[in-house]
Amino acid sequence: MRKTVLSDQENFWYFNNGITVICDSITRNLAGSPGTKLGLFSCDGVSIVNGAQTVGTIGSAYDQSDIAIDNEADGPQSWVQIRIISLEKCPPDFARRITRAANLQNAVGNREFAAMDPLQHRLATEFALDRRKYVYKSGEQDPRGEDGCSIVEATQALGCAHSVALAVQVKREIGVIWGDTDTSPYIDIFNDDLSSFRLWRAVMVMRVADEILLSLRSHTCPRADLVGIHMNRIILHLVFQEKNVKRFYTDMNNEDNLIISVKKSTEDIFLKVALYLEDHHPNDYLANLSKSHSKCEALVKAITNIPLDPENWKQASLF
């Protein structure tokens, strides 16, 4: 999209789906509106429900380029189709219905639908008070490290902490979780009991576990690389169930102990999962197995009873 804006402006209208905006009301200004072909309008309570990425890309492209925004400028210009819908005199739930229809149930679209949930705004406000950023609308750059996290990371971490079913779902198709903010599975993880602290801790656990899994992909156990890639979310779910991880997860004063516990648990569980898969699914394609509810449920039920054989499953001290 960015490349088209900067180097193929005349074709942007053909290649882009456009922007859908909803607002509380639209008023046509008398000044500057001489006829029916051209007019100036004022919109109150504007919200982009589809095309936020388009808006962000165009804005950043022009900010970082020498292209002039001038109707009289020589050379090709980009045109963008924008649809503005007034919610005045509409039913109370019409905004949500428009958002759902405009985004066609895809992952990015469902993210925009979730972004209309006031809970997401509340979490972003709480993050800001802690001098972090929580990005829940598409089109914004996701923060890294201590700067914050996105709704994608939040959903992955909270889903894995919640249940096997949601750990599988975030691996299979995360956008499904955002499809309806009034029902499960969305309200199972995004509800009034969720604090920004617990969300941030969940993301922290996931990031530490992912870092350890990256190292363990070079382990000598069978299919270590594939286990680290495809089974990462089920392993994360099991990490969240560990006693010490649970104990430090909600403790504001034990972040260092939480990190130590997550590292140790991730290493142990990785080896148990690898052993289980070698014994029960030696020929299964792990990319498919990781998205099977029944097989992952069976793995989780069995995994706590699998001992590590120190002779056959030597754990290198990685930390």
pLDDT at 18: 86
| Residue type for position 109 | G
DSSP tag of 142: P
Long-range Cβ pairs for the range 303-310 (8 Å, 24+): 303/238, 303/269, 303/272, 303/273, 303/276, 306/272, 306/275, 306/276, 308/268, 308/271, 308/272, 308/275, 309/275
The C-alpha angle with vertex 94 and arms to 108 and 155, in degrees rounded to 5, equals 30
Say how far apart CA 303 and CA 166 lie, in whole Å.
18
Stretches where the chain sits below pLDDT 70 are: 32-35, 37, 63-76, 100, 103-109, 305-319
How many residues appear in the chain?
319
Please list the residues that pair with 26 across neighbouring strands: 43
- Cβ 292 vs Cβ 168: under 8 Å: yes
pLDDT digits (tens, 9 = 90+) for 157-215: 999 999 999 999 999 999 999 988 999 999 999 999 999 999 999 999 999 999 999 99
Say how far apart CA 247 and CA 201 lie, in whole Å.
12
In the chain, pLDDT over 90 holds for what percent of residues? 55
pTM value > 0.75: no
pLDDT digits (tens, 9 = 90+) for 127-140: 999 999 999 987 78
Six token digits for residue 79: 């045109």
pLDDT at 318: 35
pLDDT at 99: 74
| Residue type for position 197 | F
Residue linked to tokens 């080896």: 271
pLDDT at 107: 54
Say how far apart CA 215 and CA 318 lie, in whole Å.
8
Question: Dihedrals φ, ψ of 74, to 5°?
Answer: -75, 160
HEC readout, 97-126 = HHHHHHHCCCHHHHHHHHHCCHHHHHHHHH
